[in-house]
A and B are shown apart, each in its own frame.
Chain A
Amino acid sequence: MKFWIICLALVLGSLGLSLSGINEYVFFAGFVILQFVVLATAWNILGGYAGYVNFGVPAFVAVGGYTAVVLFKSIQAPILVQILGGGILAGVLGLAVGLLTLKLRGIFFSIATVAVVFILETVVMNWRYVGGATGLQLTRPADLAFFDSYTRMLFFVMAVLAIGSVIIARYIQNSFLGRGLRAVRDSEEAAECSGVPTLRIKLIACVVSGALMGVAGAPMPMYLSYIEPTATFNLSYSISALAMPIIGGTSHWMGPVIGALLLGTLQQIVTVTVSNELNVLVVGLLLVFFVVAAPDGVLGLVKKWKQSSK
Chain B
Amino acid sequence: MEAILEVNNVSKHFGGFTALNAVNLHVQRGERLGLIGPNGSGKTTMINCISGALINDSGDIRFDGRHIHTLPAYQRTKLGIARSFQIPRPFGSMTVLENLLVPFAYVGGADGPNERREAMDILERMGLAAKAEVSSKQLSQVELRKMELARAMAAKPQLLISDEAMAGLAGAEIDEVLQILFDLNAMGITIIMIEHIMQAVMKFSQRVVCLDAGKIICEGTPESIFKNPDVQRAYLGDEA
A: which residues have CB within 8 A of B?
A: 176, 179-180, 182-183, 185-187, 189-199, 251
Contacts and interface: CB of A to CB of B under 8 A. Distances in A.
Nearest to A187: B89
Interface of B: 51-53, 72-75, 77-78, 82-83, 85, 89-94, 98, 101-103, 105-107, 111, 151-152, 154-155
A189 B105 contact: no
Contacts of A197: 72, 74-75, 106
B91 A195 contact: no
What's the dominant secondary structure at chain A's contact region? helix
Contacts of A187: 89-92
Contacts of A176: 105-106, 111
A179 B74 contact: no
Contact of B102 (A196, A199, A251): A196
15 contacts: A176-B111, A179-B98, A180-B105, A183-B94, A189-B53, A191-B91, A192-B53, A192-B73, A193-B85, A194-B154, A195-B106, A195-B155, A196-B106, A197-B75, A251-B93
Q: Which of B52, B85, B91, B111 has the most CB of A within 10 A?
A: B91
Given A179-B102, A192-B52, A193-B83, 15 more contacts: A176-B111, A179-B111, A180-B106, A185-B93, A186-B91, A187-B91, A190-B90, A190-B151, A191-B91, A192-B72, A193-B73, A193-B155, A195-B74, A196-B74, A197-B75
A195 B94 contact: no
A194 B92 contact: no
B85 A190 contact: yes
B93 A179 contact: no
Contacts of A186: 89-94
Given A176-B111, A183-B91, A186-B90, A194 B102 contact: yes
Contacts of A182: 91, 93-94
Given A183-B91, A251-B93, A195 B103 contact: yes
Contacts of B102: 179-180, 183, 191, 194-196
A193 B82 contact: yes
